[in-house]
Structure 1
Amino acid sequence: MRPIHFAPLLAACLYANAAQADEVQVAVASNFTAPIQAIAAGFEKDTGHKLIAAYGATGQFYTQIKNGAPFEVFLAADDTTPARLENEGDAVKGSRFTYAVGTLALWSAKDDYVDGKGQVLRKNAFQHLSIANPKTAPYGLAATQVLAEMGLTGQVKAKIVEGQNITQAYQFVSTGNAELGFVALSQVFKDGKLASGSAWIVPAELHDPIKQDAVILGKGRDNPAARALMDYLKSPKAAAIIQAYGYKP
């Protein structure tokens, strides 16, 4: 009987698996940082594909994509930017869908500082109110809409500090540079409860819906990992993670 050489056989199997696995470059809106990190682990385990993420403001990503950035999938913080890229020929038509509906929260790192109805804004006893840049970040735009609905735009204008994106807006509050700020609920919410501090979950009727769309970009058209990621985002596993961070289905 001829001896069986396992090493070449093992190497061939590993090569076959590697050939089927691909990387996907993903532009991710800052508010979705924690959920996508949790989703990426399951995605890699279940599919063998690797997700490589960059985080930033949706408006800034639009500019980068138009200038040739190597992103293959875009997880935006709105639904208008992916639709615009689709209409302009920079995204794969028919691939776009809403992967999450965001929730805005007024948050302070201090316990009992923010009340359950947001009256802390009307009292106006704070020195700084943090928001994301409303020109590039949908959560920042939503924050300005809330202030307008409450009739407080002029009253708090001088106290507003703007972050380049929702992550920086959150950091201003978490480090104490602002007493409170408008953030994505996902940044302060995990496993169905507030992780720290105090917050007012802003009623959805006070601002436009924050529908967050995903789309395959032109550079990802022929990448199997890009298609696999879009399918995975629609899976029950991903949905459970997304909802655990305070997003609506």
Structure 2
Amino acid sequence: MKHLAGLLALMAWGTARADDVQVAVAANFTAPMQKIATAFEKDTGHKAVLAFGATGKFYAQIVNGAPFEVLLAADDATPAKLEAEHRTVPGTRFTYATGKLVLWSAQDGYVDQQGQVLQTGHYAHLAIANPRTAPYGAAAVETLTRLNLYDRVQGKLVQGENIVQAHQFVSTGNAPLGFVALSQVYRDGRFTSGSGWIVPANLHAPIRQDAVILARGAANPAARALEDYLKSNKARDIIRSYGYAL
């Protein structure tokens, strides 16, 4: 009898392993979420199938029937809007990370620790993400506005579709510097390459990044498991290592 009970438990565990969850992930959270997803599958047996992009575009796709079950947004407004529209599972929205904006260059020593390079204007292009669809792009515009620089640099701005493309502009040298997510260029307390200025939090609204289970994920145990896992110490340690606040 004990052998049968053990066999049934193993069968149930094997069934749980088959559960996939479709996750829309803000582009700035690409690297940490890839690492979290690997650990999530190893620890729970569930698999997170990830799609990365701009939060604004994900909103449009979800409204138009995209099969996402969990959203990890780059802001708190989009999940709240989806919640108000009854497109989410009530009570599942929470802040999984607070993002940080950084002025970054792939060149060592190009960006000083106070960001004074912005004032000089001695650069041909300044990369940002699309402020209409990417919260980090909106934070970049807000920062430039508060520094009274937006009008001066508007002709130099090059917009990426999302924060990943903005980072690509800078990393490939097509723009000498740009505003990107700290998580893209930072790991374990230091920049992984180039030089940067972490933008003070008082220069833009907080980049609170909320997660929520979408209506399509209501009956999927893997969606609930992922939400719980994002709150675990293991996931939180990964998130912190990429420069996010919690």
Shorter chain as normaliser: what TM range?
over 0.9
Alignment equivalent of 1:80, drawn from 59, 77, 81: 77
Q: How does 1:19-34 map to 2 (within 5 A)?
A: 19-21=15-17, 22-34=19-31
Does residue 16 of structure 1 match 2:12? yes
Runs of 4+ displaced beyond 3 Å: 10-16
Q: 1:112 aligns to what?
A: 109
Note the residue ranges of structure 2 that are not aligned, 5 or more in a row: 1-5
Aligned with 2:190 (options 163, 183, 193): 193
Distance in 2 of aligned mates of 1:60 and 1:106: 24
Matched, 1:168 2:165: yes
The reply on whether 1:228 has 2:225 as its aligned counterpart is: yes
Structure number with greater Rg is 1
CA distance in 2, matches of 1:13, 1:214: 31
Counterpart-to-counterpart distance in 2, 1:49 and 1:191: 27
* Residues 154-205 of structure 1: per-residue CA shift (max 9 Å, x gap): 1000000000000000000000000000000000001221000000000000
After TM superposition, the structure 1 = structure 2 runs for residues 1-249 of structure 1, keeping only pairs within 5 Å, are: 15-21=11-17, 22-249=19-246
Taking the aligned partners of 2:153 and 2:230, their CA distance within structure 1 comes to 38
Structure 2 length normalisation: TM-score? 0.96
3-state SS in 2 of match to 1:246: coil
- Measured in 1, the distance between the counterparts of 2:183 and 2:78 equals 21
Q: CA RMSD in A?
A: 1.7
Gaps of 5+ in 1: 1-9
Q: What CA distance in whole angstroms lies between the structure 2 residues aligned with 1:232 and 1:12?
A: 25
For 2:224 and 2:82, the matched residues in 1 are separated by: 18
Structure-2 separation of matches of 1:175 and 1:18: 45
Distance in structure 1 (CA, Å) of the matches to 2:7 and 2:160 = 50
Shift of 1:68: 0.3
Q: Measure the CA separation in 2 of the matches of 1:213 and 1:110.
A: 33
Distance 1:165 1:149 in 2: 22
Structure 1 residue 17, shift from structure 2 partner: 2.8
CA distance in structure 2 between the partners assigned to 1:180 and 1:149 by the alignment: 19
SS of residue paired to 2:104: strand
Q: TM-score under structure 1 normalisation?
A: 0.94
Question: What amino acid is the match of 1:59?
Answer: G
Q: Secondary structure at the match of 1:232?
A: helix
- Report the residue type matching 1:223 in the other structure: N
How big is the shift at 1:18?
2.7
SS in 1 for 2:91: coil
